[in-house]
Amino acid sequence: MDCHEASALLAAYGDGELDPVRSAAIERHLLGCAECAAKRDELATLRTRVRAEVPYYRASAGLRARVRAAVEHALPAAPRPQAGRERWRWLGAGAFAGCAATVFAWFIGSAVLEWGAGNDIIAEAVTDHTRATLGNRLTDVASSDQHTVKPWLSARLDYSPPVQDLRAEGFPLVGGRLDYLDRHPVATLVYRYREHTIDVFVRPVPARIASAPPVTLATLRGFNVAHATGSGMEWWAVSDVSPDVLSGFVARVAQGN
Ligand SMILES: [Zn+2]
């Protein structure tokens, strides 16, 4: 088995869906290939984090009906129970499991995509945050040094976001990355609070915001989003930390030094 074959099968292998022969082949390959072994570990981490961190919702009746209809549609015609055709029943059952899994995966995939479909900034900020935390691309520049993070971001944007390390106040700076909000590249500062990650999207205050409103707070899909303006910028903080901590934090970063 070469790397190409192995990477095509890694996900199925991780889910325990391969037959013993192919499992053994991929295991032999993983023993000798650090690159594929790293991919396997990455998949395992992602799976664990999705299970632990993605909020679960009960499917609505409409979604339930759509899944059911799609599964039924995808099913091969039910095999006729005839003597001597017993194995077809098993084959049919196998195909059913496969189709159901695929259709279900497709629905989950669309549901995740629908998350980001709205042009609502809060939804977009939460989607950016989820993508970054689950996708292993939390920072483009990993540094607790504001004098490293700020120039890195300024060089890639047409504005210069204020950057502070708030370690002394319990919010160490982890780094920064370039993300997208409202169809524009946006400076994203990454902070830590205890075991939590806080993303802060910073951009110049849009002209439509005449006077600085107080901190506003929203909750979406289990994440809190706190908004503030200050230091000539607009600040959106997204995290799973408690609303009061996040509001205090966003007010603090917006206020500047
Ligand atoms: Zn390999």
Asked if residue 155 has pLDDT above 90, the reply is: yes
Q: Per-residue pLDDT averaged across 33-43, rounded?
A: 91
Model confidence band, residue 161 (pLDDT cutoffs 50, 70, 90): very high
Centre of ligand 1 to C-alpha 27, Å, is 10
Distance CA 33, CA 44 (A): 17
Residues contacting residue 207 through CB under 8 Å, at least 6 positions apart? none
Centre of ligand 1 to C-alpha 30, Å, is 7
Model confidence band, residue 83 (pLDDT cutoffs 50, 70, 90): very low
pLDDT for residue 120: 76
Asked if residue 118 has pLDDT above 50, the reply is: no
Model confidence band, residue 98 (pLDDT cutoffs 50, 70, 90): low
- Average pLDDT of every residue of the chain: 82
Q: What angle do CA 109, 112, 118 make, to 5 degrees?
A: 130
Closest residue by Cα to residue 184 from 201, 170, 164, 198: 201
Asked if residue 159 has pLDDT above 80, the reply is: yes
Centre of ligand 1 to C-alpha 135, Å, is 21
Centre of ligand 1 to C-alpha 26, Å, is 9
Asked if residue 105 has pLDDT above 90, the reply is: no
For 177-203, the pLDDT digits (tens) are 999 988 889 999 999 999 999 999 999
Task: Using a pLDDT cut of 70, give the percent of the chain over it.
Answer: 78
Asked if residue 94 has pLDDT above 60, the reply is: no
Distance CA 57, CA 41 (A): 27
Centre of ligand 1 to C-alpha 1, Å, is 8
Closest residue by Cα to residue 161 from 198, 197, 189: 189
Model confidence band, residue 55 (pLDDT cutoffs 50, 70, 90): low
Model confidence band, residue 174 (pLDDT cutoffs 50, 70, 90): very high
Q: Is 17 helix (H, G, I), strand (E, B) or coil?
A: coil
pLDDT for residue 114: 39
Please indicate whether residue 142 or residue 207 has the higher confidence score (pLDDT): 142
Centre of ligand 1 to C-alpha 13, Å, is 14
Centre of ligand 1 to C-alpha 28, Å, is 10
Q: What is the pTM of this model?
A: 0.55
For 199-241, the pLDDT digits (tens) are 999 999 877 665 666 788 888 888 999 999 988 999 999 999 9
Centre of ligand 1 to C-alpha 40, Å, is 10
Strand 141-142 to strand 173-181: parallel, antiparallel, or no bridges (unpaired)? antiparallel
Asked if residue 96 has pLDDT above 80, the reply is: no
Centre of ligand 1 to C-alpha 24, Å, is 14
Centre of ligand 1 to C-alpha 32, Å, is 8
Centre of ligand 1 to C-alpha 46, Å, is 19
Model confidence band, residue 93 (pLDDT cutoffs 50, 70, 90): low
Q: Is 89 helix (H, G, I), strand (E, B) or coil?
A: helix
Phi and psi, residue 192, nearest 5°: -120, 145
Centre of ligand 1 to C-alpha 160, Å, is 42
